[in-house]
Amino acid sequence: MKKLTVILSTLLFVLLMGNQQLSAQSESKETKLDVYYTHTTNRCAGCKAIEKEAIATINESYAGQLKSGEIKLHIVNIDLKENAAFVDQYKVWGSSLFLVKKGDTKPTVDMTKPGFAKARTKPAEFRAELSEQISLLLK
């Protein structure tokens, strides 16, 4: 009888601890900012640089917010049929990088022009500008 009580107590403890962990995981932050990088199947060096620098900036400067779900990064190939609704919603037609604050239905900040101007030749400047825009939108 003692062994059964110990086993049941242990099982109950394990189940309760598991529920606490699930509750903690489900308490992730609500998404405040969606970052979209869109591209076609065929891409130039500038397009690839924008993607590379945007991903690096978010992974390095906003890892916590990315992990918690406060920021979501979306890489979208606009040539794929499954992305047609997205293409229609945001009216994208080529490579672009834009930030959409929660509740907005249009891009809040379009980083496409600075991306093409700086991502390949001045990546540090591009990263700083992107980071500044993200920080402003998270406030």
Kindly tell me the burial class for residue 131, based on how many C-beta atoms sit within 10 Å of its own C-beta (0-12, 13-18, 19 or more): middle
In a domain, 39, yes or no: yes
| Nearest of 100, 118, 112 to residue 32 by alpha carbon | 100
pLDDT of residue 16: 42
In a domain, 1, yes or no: no
Task: Give the number of residues written for the chain.
Answer: 139
Taking residues 82-91, what's their average pLDDT?
94
In a domain, 2, yes or no: no
Query: CB-hemisphere CA count at 13 Å for 84?
Result: 2
The CATH number that applies at residue 111 is 3.40.30
Cα–Cα distance measured from residue 63 to residue 69, given in angstroms and rounded to the nearest whole number: 10
The partner residues of 77 in beta bridges, in order of sequence, read: 39
Residue range of the domain that includes 81: 33-138
In a domain, 63, yes or no: yes
Give pTM, 2 decimals.
0.76
pLDDT of residue 85: 95
In a domain, 11, yes or no: no
pLDDT of residue 105: 76
Q: Mind listing the pLDDT tens digit for each residue in 18-70?
A: 443 333 343 456 889 999 999 999 999 999 999 999 999 999 999 999 999 99
In a domain, 21, yes or no: no
In a domain, 53, yes or no: yes
Domains: count for the chain: 1
- CB neighbours (10 Å) of residue 129? 17
In a domain, 107, yes or no: yes
